[in-house]
Amino acid sequence: MSTLTLLVCSLVALNLQTSLCIDTFKQNQSFIDGFTLVSSNQRFEFGFFSPSNGSSTNRYLGIWYHNLPLTVVWVANRNYPIYDLFGKVRLDENGVLILYHGSLGSVWSTNGARVASSFACVLQLLDSGNLVIRDDGGNKTIFWESFDYPTDTLLPGLKLGWKLDVGLHRFIRSWKTSEDPADGEYSFSLDPPEAPQLVLRSGSRKLFRWGPFDGSSFSGSTTFTANPLLQTMFVYNYQELYFRYEILDESILSRLVVSSTGLAQYFTWKVNSSKEWNQLVTFNSDPCDNYANCGHYGICYSLSSCKCLSGFTPDSPRDWGLFSYSGGCKRKHELNCGHGDGFVKYNALKLPDNPIVWGNYTSHLCEAKCLENCSCMAYANLDVYRNGSRCVVWIGDLVDLKNYPDGGEPIYIRMAHAELDSIADAKRKRATVKIVSVVTVIGVLLLSCGVVWYFGWIIRHRRKDQIGRSSKSQLSGSFQYVEDNQDSGFQLPLYDLETIFLACNNFSERNKIGQGGFGSVYKGQLSNGQEIAVKRLVEKSTQGVEELKNEIILIAKLQHRNLVKLLGCCIEGDETMLVYEYLPNKSLNNFIYDKPKRKQLTWRKRYHIIKGIARGLLYLHQDSRLRIIHRDLKTSNILLDSELNPKISDFGIARIFGTHQLQDMTKRIIGTYGYMSPEYAMNGHYSVKSDVYSFGVIVLEIISGYKNWAFHHPDHDLNLLGHSWMLWNKRQPLEVLDPVVQDPSYTNQIIRCIHVALLCVQQYPEDRPKMSTIYAMLSYDNIELPEPKEPGFCKKSNTKKVDTSASDSSTVNEVTMTTMSGR
């Protein structure tokens, strides 16, 4: 084909906006903007393009998916755009592909791929999306390929890693913005070659890390190996070290992309059935994958909570008490190299950063060599390169550990002789305790205390039978459950009435700290000095025995730092009481609605409270053994301890959901005016999204210092939700902020919290995010938030308000609204 013919064809293709369906371009030929190559399988297209939104006239030479919405996978001149439609591409006599632009001459080229003059070569777009310059003869030797110089996309077959013989490092780098292909801030690579692991960086700073490779997968991630449609390969030889994957189903398109905001995301498209890309996974969505989240020797658990390795203690207990873990942990006993140091085995961990492969040693020899090196802090047995290399060591402090129960590798960590002795002593003590316990039970209890205990038991149970016979018949099937199940794992202490009376000073008014529809709450102190809060159910309580039974069963089975702790209960005669831990700062409403007190709530403290409530709700909805819907979340049911850590309380009307259950309904609608979601208040439908709505209301109340249902503005009749929505649409969200909060350094964080709150209170439950998404939105600024839709219950209702005058001082509950559906 002559140059003139090619030029004419190119102009025709440009005018008709079509592609010539050829995949090969010959030496000494040129083509201009409008001409494209299409792979023989019709999957990929190569030519000139502009970013998808049309706002830029810049032209780039690149590869994208054919016959799909523009999805670019490779860009040649990413840092050197052409500003008009007069670009030209030529494969010259030396086999170099050159991009020209008018008087500027060469803009980009494959200058490292010169071919000997004896070879005739062609440019071809392969079915894999790889653009190659190859020999036009029978052996089809490849002289240059785009897969050696990827941009922001990892395609099946693309090798992420090194060509060791020529020193070429293949990695992917994000676009500068979603519309600018220039080199961005974030890179994703296999790093380093000494012990390969996947690393996402911002510049030179590590953000996330998965690895090292353990022979079958990368430690800390099963994203690729757990997918039956993928086949992964890890290759190491003298010429290459790389990781790549292949798709086993040819009808599925697949790509891994590093976005301009720093997210490593994996997408698929089902040919002939998908209408858009399906995002299967975001690699760096787990907060525990944040690099060095818990510092040296700290283990990250779910929701970014940290614990020190056994044998270590927080380097700064004060910082850890404030949930700041970056300082890490220190040893309880310092090492003394050559004087008895040894190793302790730890399981179910993501392996730490900076591993080094020492060679093909047995486990015993690897341990011995690590012990000889005073800087060697740990070793593991991993066949990293699948060539028998079993000894991997860590020199220096261990960092970036994560609890990984589903696939963690065993690691042996160096410990001082004193710590090894302590572990051995603990084992001996446990064995001794077992023996002593058996002897004590058989000897002391049967011979010494048996008679005393027996008579005491007779007296105690006779008294209970006399006092509580009438009440136990009434409570059959509710509190009898507590006593009947003490021996079946439901271990909840039963306090006698005399103990509670003494602790609460006979329930004097001076000990009273709260009042609600259930009765009263009293402060008390047990004989051992422990302070308690006692919730005393009155005979005509709006919270009946079923609600109290429900609260006992649920709280006794739930354990989380952001849930109130139930210590026990008392059931004697006509008295039914719950005993809680005492929280000196009472409930959140005592702070947030009190003008003098809320001055103590700086933005940092309010943000800490918001995230604590979110953690507690996430535990109820997703991470606990039971899936709990609270149904009565409000500020008076959020208690604060001495350090203003929030704890969710009052599970009287909470409900347990099945693993796959999405929603339920009831004709008995119980809740609190201003916090109930529209679908629950109007139709009795409730789900996790009902709690999300209540959470959004609480966040806006914390930010503003006003109650939703009591909010008043002279210019309109909107409640707090409607007022916040109006200001958001006016682009004046900060006007809802409590005036006592004056700290401009947190402006973006405050606006983000308002944004998240408005997403939570949207009218329809399907529009509201889940708590796991909400916690991620609050924790990571790089997560893009959708625009919120109009909230439910924006205007003040004409319904008569429930009397809450007695409830504002409650520390455990609040007066709730009970209605019956008319359906």
Question: Which of the residues are catalytic?
Answer: 632
Q: Look up residue 449 and give its two tokens.
A: 């205390």
CA-to-CA distance for 37 and 146, rounded, in angstroms? 14
C-alpha pair distances (Å), 695 with each of 3, 69, 700, 729, 761: 68, 38, 9, 21, 8
Q: What is the number of H-type helices and E-type strands within the chain? A: 16, 47
Number of Cβ within a 10 Å radius of residue 55: 9
Kindly provide the residue ranges of all beta strands, DSSP E only, lying in 573-691, ordered along the sequence.
Answer: 575-581, 627-629, 638-640, 646-648, 655-657, 663-665, 668-671, 685-687
Question: Within its chain, how far is the Cα of 19 from the centroid?
Answer: 44
Cα 211 to Cα 267, 325, 357: the distances in Å are 22, 22, 13
Its sign, for the CA torsion 202, 204, 206, 209, is positive
446 Cβ neighbours under 8 A, 6+ residues apart: none
311: left (phi over 0), alpha (psi -120 to 50) or beta: left
Per the DSSP assignment, residues forming a β-bridge with 145 are 132
d(Cα 363, Cα 343) in Å, to the nearest integer? Answer: 12
The neighbour count for residue 118, using CB atoms within 10 Å, is 5
CA 47 – CA 37 distance, rounded (Å): 7
Q: 608 to each of 246, 291, 346, 699, how far by Cα in Å?
A: 44, 22, 32, 11
Give 411's strand partners.
346
| Residues in contact with 149: Cβ distance below 8 Å, sequence separation at least 6, in sequence order | 170
Q: Tell me how crowded residue 527 is: count the other CB atoms within 10 A of its CB.
A: 8
Rounded to 10°, the helix 747-760/603-618 angle is: 30
Helix (H) or strand (E) holding 6: helix 3-16
700: nearest Cα among 760, 636, 790: 760
Interhelix angle 771-779/747-760, rounded to 10 degrees, is 170
638: which strand partners?
Answer: 648
List, in sequence order, the alpha helices (H) in 619-731. 678-683, 688-704, 720-729
* φ, ψ dihedrals at 568, nearest 5°: 170, -170
401-403/298-300 β-pairing: parallel
State the Cα–Cα distance between residues 214 and 119, nearest whole angstrom. 43
Tell me the DSSP string of 395-459. ES--B-EEE-TTTPEEEEEEE-HHHHHHHHHHHHHHHHHHHHHHHHIIIIIIIIIHHHHHHHHHH
Would you tell me the crossing angle of helices 747-760 and 720-729 to the nearest 10 degrees? 120
3-state percent breakdown (helix, strand, coil) of the chain, nearest 5: 30, 30, 40
- Spell out the residues 6+ positions from residue 245 whose beta carbon is closer than 8 angstroms to its own: 156, 224, 230, 231, 232, 233
Helix (H) or strand (E) holding 808: none
Helix 603-618 vs helix 771-779: crossing angle, to nearest 10: 150
Q: What is the DSSP letter of 27?
A: T
Annotated ligand binding at 667? The verdict is: no
What residues form the annotated binding site for ATP? 535
